Amino acid sequence: MIAILGGGAVGQALSRSLPREGCRVGLRWNRSPLPRWQKVSARWTTVLPALDRFDLVLLAVKDAAVEPLCQTLRFRRGQLVVHLSGALSLLALESARKQGAAVGSLHPLRAIVHGERTPFRGASAGLAGSTLAARKKLEDLARTLGLTPLDVGDEARPLYHAAATLAAGGVVALFAEAALAFRKATGATEGEARAALLPLSLGALKKLQALPPPRALTGPFARGDAATVRSHRAALSKDLLSLYDELARAALRLAREGNRAPPETLDQVSATLPRRGR
């Protein structure tokens, strides 16, 4: 039987998904009462009972709360205690391990917001376990939820999580910068800019489902169009210029890797960019 501690976006998603996949959830606990607007159908409690009857305890609280919460809890041998964080190592669960429980991490590689029905299906999950048996149980749990399991050891976690952060929040931050420039150019409202640019972004990302980045790349870097890049650089604000230049260098690397334009044309684009550090 499973206990879910933490009723945020991920805790609630687990609370909905696990029973649907035939897993028994016997406890849903949150530190404070869940707000009414979240319209949660399952019963969540703020009273934390003894946890010994649960085989699996999922600590779905924010990263900074995982270790302190774990330190206040009593565990027993045979239990598996798991956090959902991509950034934290298994050391955050050391107090559970010292009490004889196995510990692990299952980090869904998805940006999860409140109320999503099936946030896990089709995504991958970074897994770690303190024992082979724990690792195997987490792999089974991931597959049950429709997640593809990937091993991520403790030393690899900061880089793994940096990559995940760039792929999610980084893409949103880049989109927001593009939308600001678009509004400045066209006078569009925030909503109009988002509506105009989103099909462009989604279309570009969708290409990655079938093609590797060197083939999916479009635009003046793929074409080797130095004149266009020069005109972009003249129009961009100083703030955005350094971001544009960094991405331009990455795009040129892709264009070269994919032989997207003759090397001399790509050299001409490269020559429009300042050398690093200038």
Give me the residue label for tokens 């230049």. 245
Q: Rule CB under 6 A: say whether 174 interacts with ligand NAP.
A: no
Identified binder of ligand NAP from the candidate list 2, 51, 56, 69, rule CB under 6 A: 69
249 binds ligand NAP (CB under 6 A): no
Count of residues that bind ligand NAP according to CB under 6 A = 24
- Whether residue 67 contacts residue 96, with contact meaning beta carbons closer than 8 Å, is answered with no
The SS3 of residue 111 is coil
Q: Which segment (77-85, 152-160, 184-192, 213-221) binds ligand NAP by CB under 6 A?
A: 77-85
- Residue among 134 and 273 whose Cβ is closer to ligand NAP: 134
Residue 146 binding ligand NAP, by CB under 6 A: no
Nearer to ligand NAP, 165 or 272 (CB): 165
Q: Which residues contact 76 (CB under 8 A, 6 or more apart)?
A: 52, 99, 100, 101
Does residue 30 bind ligand NAP (CB under 6 A)? yes
CA distances in angstroms from 101 to 11, 87, 198, 216, listed in the order given: 21, 21, 46, 46
Q: In angstroms, rounded to a whole number, what is the distance separating the alpha carbons of residues 207 and 69?
A: 42
Task: Name the region of 259 (left: φ>0; alpha: ψ -120 to 50; beta: rest).
Answer: left
Is 105 a binding residue for ligand NAP by CB under 6 A? The answer is no
Q: Any contact of residue 89 with ligand NAP (CB under 6 A)?
A: no
Does position 111 bind ligand NAP by CB under 6 A? yes
Q: Could you list the residues that contact ligand NAP (CB under 6 A)?
A: 6-11, 30-32, 60-63, 65, 69, 83-86, 107-108, 110-112
